[in-house]
Amino acid sequence: MTDTSTDTSTDTAARCGSGSGSGSRSDQLVFFVNGKKIVEENADPETTLLTYLRRTLGLTGTKLGCAEGGCGACTVMLSRPQPPTGRVLHYAVNACLAPLCSLHLVAVTTVEGIGSVARKLHPVQERIARAHGSQCGFCTPGFVMSMYALLRNNPTPKMADLEEAFQGNLCRCTGYRPILEGFKSLTVDGGCCGGKGRDNGCCLANGSAAETSSQEVADESACLFRAADFAPFDPTQEVIFPPELMSLVTNQRPASLCFQGERATWLQPCSLHELVLLKWKHPDAKVVVGNTEVGIEVKFKNMLYPITLAPAIIPELNEVRHTEDGVLFGAACTLSHMGAVLREEVQTRPAHQTQVFLAVLEQLRWFAGLQIRNVAAIGGNIMTASPISDLNPVFMATGCKVKLMDKDGSRVIPMDNAFFTGYRKTVVRPQEILVSIEIPYSKKNQFVSAFKQSARREDDISIVTAAMSVTFCHGDVVEDLKLSYGGMAATTAMASTTATSLLGRRWGGELLQDACHSLAKEMTLDPSAPGGMVTYRRTLTISLFYKFYLTVLQKLRDQGVSVEAVQPNCLSAADLHHPETPSGVQVFQAMPKGQKDVVGRPMMHLSALKHATGEAVYCDDMPMYENELYLALVTSSKAHANILSIDPSLAETFPGVISCVFAADIPGSNATGPVYSDETILADRQVTCVGHIIGAVVADTQLHAQRAAKAVRVQYEELQPLVTIKEAIAAQSFYQENGTIQDQPIRTLQRGDLEAGFKQADRVIEGEMHIGGQEHFYLETNVTLAVPRGEDGEMELFVSTQSASKTQSLVAKALGVPANRVQVRVKRMGGGFGGKETRTTVLSTVVAVAANKLKRPVRCMLDRDEDMLVTGGRHPFYGKYKVGFLKSGKVVALDVSYYSNVGNSMDLSLSIMERALFHMENSYSVANVRGRGFLCRTNLPTNTAFRGFGGPQGMMVAESWINDVAQSLDRPAHEVRMLNLYMEGESTPYNQILDQLTLDRCWDECLSRSGFHERRAAVDLYNRQNRWTKRGLAIVPTKFGISFTAAFLNQAGALVHIYTDGSVLLTHGGTEMGQGLHTKMVQVASRVLGIPCSKIHISETNTSTVPNTSPTAASASSDLNGAAVHNACETLHRRLEPYKSRNPKGSWEDWVKEAYFDRVNLSANGFYKTPDLGYDFDSNSGRVFNYFSYGVASSEVEIDCLTGAHKNLSTTIVMDVGHSLNPAIDIGQVEGGFMQGLGLFTIEELHYSPGGVLLTRGPGSYKIPASGDIPTRLTVSLLRDAPNEKAIFSSKAVGEPPLFLAAANFFAIKDAVASARGESGLSGPFRFDSPASTERIRMACSDQFTHLCPAEPGPFTPWSVQV
């Protein structure tokens, strides 16, 4: 290196003042966005690309979903030429993690840059929209950009490429199937046949005619969209890389850069020499390439790194070089690049040399999402030193070597037992740089395997990860053995004692037995270990070794070595998971011939195209007001405590802070709550949960407000919290209606003679079940913008809420003004699911108080971790039951008690418990029944409405006892279920007669479409042939009551204006959150007025147009608002009728103009209330529901008994939605609801500490289903010829009922577990709580490995508790 390099490094540091401070100057940051050159003079190292796009450039199509790179809503494409070829590499990244300063001479493409509704749609945008792959639309730009980036690199991708591209993208609405199906048309696997491929519809539906129906039905349709209508995709027409940028990149010599921010400095050296000098000078500086770890530490752990070194352009750190011993990767090589290189090596080298590479590739398959792998560096992965790293165990077990360098020289050290010295610590000295890692070729007799076990297969952190390498001499004698585990200690750990004890041994049964016993002793965990699941993790260390043992044994036999044979029934244990491409069939009733209007057509969501282009405006996308401020919450860190003092003095000194807001600033009432005023807007004397809002800080920017909020000091006097249902039961802490706490149930529902019923029974069993809570995980978190109007106390609020009127009334109460001074406007929500029914007011009231105090507009959008902490979710339930039944399986008596974990206030918990009781028998007729509900008062954030509203919990316990009956009789569960199904004319426990019952039709069609009996025989055969993988099959019905259980809410209003040009403005009381309500309302108006949908527009939901609206909830919004719209349009139709009669050949516009000139009122309001509703618990009389929605699902799964992982093989759903208003939207709701239920019952798990702290606060730790979780074969059929006279145009509600059908997957898993238990001699009913997590599945499959790791006796504090 020459002296000039040294000068450069000194200059770089000096130019920036070697740290934050005034007087230093920054370099210009030059990059391009959508082809436009951006020159930023003041680039701040703490600003992300996402913030810059949204706040500085006003490009709001890119969304904020989580701020941790876990949801993909912020996906954009980066492009840069690759030296030395100059070929432009395009790659998808998470804009929420990408530091602005890392983008020098990079081209950024956002969703706005590839197409628009006004200009021209890109084929990617068109296909996701027209294939109905967008519901709420908040995740859609992210999916569009992931697909677009894939096509820019590979114009002819396979489905496997597409599935990999979406590993980092989450959707909470659609269930993924329509997204994959729309984009499948862009792959080589799935081009369109132009409608020629199948007799009954599109080839892209992927089903065979036999699958669709046993007998062809003339009026059945299976085509929701026509792929032949898509605009063709021409890769030659893509936007070119900006020529000016290409010239800048090729003509400029690499130069060092410095960017100075408010608190931090970004130094980008251009040579290795300069980097080591800077690291010597700043040994505590963070070295950042992808920012995937440091970005999260800064955002969520409040870390501040004054100096950042960015070595991404240094050639030595990006090199890939072949050595004698292996392949050497520079530390700044991305994981994607490493994967591509190793895949090429595997294809070109002899198999015996690539064992290590294959193990690395196996881990990379499941390593985060593609957006993360595209930027995360190998060096960062090593230096983060995570104890649950996926790759470090492989590097350690296979003897990888790393090169370290400082200004005095370099050294090469092995990644062995000594490399990691403690939690997130390594032997690398502070002034050293990690330069490279060498991954070795494997030897002739070496076998290597890598394993990862996580809650969800795609994009999930490990529970336990392992790598194992064995080398043999003399055929099967162990010469060398390395066993490396992550998730079993504070560092990646080697099982050295076990490995050493097996050297010189022959690979066989004795070695296996000794290894398992040794691992059980060596790989221990403290029972209080972070992460919990201690017994499961210990069992995994043995189970994974057993998989390795079988794999090696099989390979030795394949090589002709004389070893024990692997038993045929054990072979599947060694299989690696290779996902199959999912396929789907959707069946619905075709429209009658001759019908001209749009009702019943699979019409696209009205906003779908705008979703796909990023032009749909959500609350936080609204342009900033000139004097707008940003608010951040101050929340409690204690679950139960008295507040001794609040000191904001330090926070008030922070830059940009305008004011702090506390309870004393509330002009009206601090008491709030949707039903009972048992909450405070801002806590003043006591906090009753972690996340209880105490105050807020208002500042000029979000970053300033959030930093200052963390500096508000609160002193507490801690009180003993109650966290779990068990603790509440022990303390008799139950809510009563009047707000008091007593030991009685809040509701009891009883019919028949319970005592006589149990006497009549041949057998009586008792059981219990716990159903975990669920986070809503709407992609758009809670957001409010409050704008004071300057006179008479008027306030305008833009809110993402399902309940505009409730927001209006609670804000008015807080401000001490009448409701007529507060206007609430809702354009659309990025998902709601019940979570935005009442809990949005927690934020809206605080923002309104702040705006009122400062007389300026105030905005707040919660970060994902805040939203999860503050807003509560689905109620955890505990059910205890006693059931009496005859030998035939007929249930004759049921006594069930439900306990729900309500949290620190009532919210809607009473209504939720009532609905649970109304669904306690699910679809089964029980003559003698009693249900009791207890509301447990605890110190958790109050739980609230969530799709299903208590119904799923009530029905889940019912399915548990019906399953127990079948198991105790040793009868097939489907037979016992069928025997007990309701029949037409029977009465429910609340004395409602079931008429127009279609449950039996749904059941029979589901059996037939799924080929249930054939599948049952095939599953039983599979289970006889396989010991360590088992399949399960279940069929589960649902009966869901439609209406608000609070009768007064069953009302709706609408307002329809016809303008003189013939255009129609429609307003109704419902809100749009992705469920397609506005689309259906336009279809209704279109039919009644007899005009095309294009003439009708819905702008927003607004309290000033339709007052006193019920929340958009209870699946009843289409029924209620549809009838109100119908009423208003009928009025207008009648007013226009004389002009139509007078001028039958005239146009709509003619009739409207004539009526106007005749001074006819062209505005009408409509109203509807559901008739004959009202129920009394005391007398058990009255009519609870207007009608019922029915459905049945059959699911088949496969479990891995050794790890607890499961695969959803197939699901068939038959749903009665009456005469569907829009089959595309209704099937979307069925699939989306089912996938949300799949999360509830099999994946999603909230973890709380014993002190009431929520430990799972984002997509990194809380897992919703990903696209890889959908059933490989998914069939959805809407029941034909099932009109429902009680709702608009004979339709039925569809939002909530399908969610429970995912219980079929849960009970299919339980069926598979029962088969595994049978191998260990266990039979009969067993407790199996929900969700069916990997831990629960594995530990329920009791076997010789679980027996080696018994639970620790004695008292200890667990990491998390079952709340």
DSSP letters spanning 1059-1096:
-TTS-EEEEES---SSS-HHHHHHHHHHHHHT--GGGE
Q: Which two tokens stand for residue 304?
A: 């501040």
**Listed residue (835, 720, 712) closest to 782, CA to CA:** 835
Contact residues for 560 (Cβ-Cβ < 8 A; gap 6+) = none
State phi, psi for 146 to the nearest 5 degrees. -65, -45
How open is the CA angle 775-848-826, to the nearest 5 degrees? 60
> Other C-beta atoms within 10 Å of 935: how many?
27
Closest CA to 1114 of 803, 816, 885: 803
Contact criterion met (CB below 8 Å) for 316 and 435? yes
CB-based contacts of 1322: which residues, under 8 Å, 6+ apart?
1342
Cis amide prior to 1331 (ω within 30 degrees): yes
* Catalytic pick among 1296, 1319, 1335, 1352: 1296
CA pair distance 279, 406, nearest whole angstrom: 8
Q: Are 111 and 144 in contact (CB under 8 A)?
A: yes
Displacement of CA 71 from its chain's centroid (Å): 7
Query: Which DSSP symbol is given to 100?
Result: G
DSSP sequence for 734-767: BB-TTS-B-SS-SEEEEES-HHHHHHH-SEEEEE
67 contacts 864 by C-beta, under 8 angstroms: yes
The CA distance from 1079 to 598, in Å, is 11
User: Which residues, other chains included, contact 413 with Cβ-Cβ below 8 Å and sequence gap of 6+?
Assistant: 401, 402, 404, 419, 427
Q: Are 65 and 143 in contact (CB under 8 A)?
A: no
Question: In a 3-state reduction of DSSP, which class is residue 1040?
Answer: strand
Closest to 288 (Cα-Cα) out of 266, 306, 272? 266
Element (DSSP H or E) covering residue 977: helix 973-980
Dist CA 1170 CA 1252 (whole Å):
42
Give the list of residues 6+ apart from residue 1022 with CB closer than 8 angstroms, or none: 1030, 1031
Q: DSSP secondary structure string, 780-818?
A: S--EEEEEE-SSTT-EEEEE--S-HHHHHHHHHHHHTS-
For the CA atoms of 560, 563, 565, 566, what is the dihedral angle to 10 degrees?
-100
Residues 6+ apart with CB under 8 A from 27: 15, 257, 258, 259
- Angstrom distance (rounded) from CA 1084 to CA 1094: 13
Residue 556: count other Cβ atoms within 10 Å of its Cβ. 21
Distance (Å, rounded) from C-alpha 497 to C-alpha 520?
11
Q: Return the closest-CA partner of residue 669 out of 853, 842, 812.
A: 812
| Backbone angle region of 228, left / alpha / beta, with phi > 0 → left and psi within -120 to 50 → alpha | alpha
Active site residue 1352: no
Please report the sign of the dihedral spanned by the C-alpha atoms of residue 1328, residue 1332, residue 1333, residue 1339: positive
Burial 1324-1347 (b: 16+ CB within 10 A, else e): ebeebbbbbbbbbbbbbbbbebbe
Which residue numbers are catalytic?
Answer: 1296
